[in-house]
Amino acid sequence: QVQLVESGGGVVQPGGSLRLSCAASGFSFSIYGMHWVRQAPGKGLEWVAFTRYDGNKEYYADSVKGRFTISRDNADNTLYLQMNSLTAEDTAVYYCAKPKAIFGVVVSLFDSWGQGTPVTVSS
């Protein structure tokens, strides 16, 4: 079955950096675009970033553009999120999410999520 396992979260000072990983298994990772979604404490879901299946196109939320970089290693079935210049507003649980294939077409709604990795930005 599909498994998504995030890691790399932790406590970091404002202005610091962190790299999140998401290990994927149970599906053909290399043919799916993948997303990161975050959730601040007590708040709703916020889309963060997307990478195309081949890693050659990325999209970002305005709130992270220029600071975060999404990438992937299809040989290793792993998704990454490099986060730089972190602020308190980046404190959240970060989820990687797998889009759903509907009649063979991959659509950006999510039928599998990881357990999330918490990131706390604090001095």
Partner 1 sequence: IPLTQSPSSLSASVGDSVTITCRASQGIASALAWYQQKPGEAPNLLIYDASSLETGVPSRFIGSGSGTDFTLTIASLQPEDFATYYCQQYNTDPLITFGQGTRLEI
Q: What is the 3-state secondary structure (H, E, C) of the chain?
A: CCEEEEECCEEECCCCCEEEEEEEECCCHHHCCEEEEEECCCCCEEEEEEECCCCCCEEECCCCCCCEEEEEECCCCEEEEEECCCCHHHCEEEEEEEEEEECCEEEEEEEEECCCEEEEECC
**What gap in Å lies between CA 98 and CA 119, rounded to an integer?**
20
**77: its two tokens:** 């079935």
Per-residue contact string for residues 23-42; x = within reach of partner 1 by CB under 8 A: ----------x-x-------
Q: 97-116: which residues touch partner 1 (CB under 8 A)?
A: 100, 102, 107-111, 113-116
Pick the binder of partner 1 from 50, 68, 80, 94 (CB under 8 A): 50
CB of 66 to partner 1, least distance (A): 17
CB of 44 to partner 1, least distance (A): 4
Q: How many residues does the chain have?
A: 123
Q: Give the nearer residue to partner 1 in terms of CB position, either 75 or 105.
A: 105
Q: Give the nearer residue to partner 1 in terms of CB position, either 16 or 58.
A: 58
User: Taking CB under 8 A as the rule, does residue 2 contact partner 1?
Assistant: no
Which residues form the interface with partner 1 (CB under 8 A)? 33, 35, 44-47, 50, 59, 95, 100, 102, 107-111, 113-116
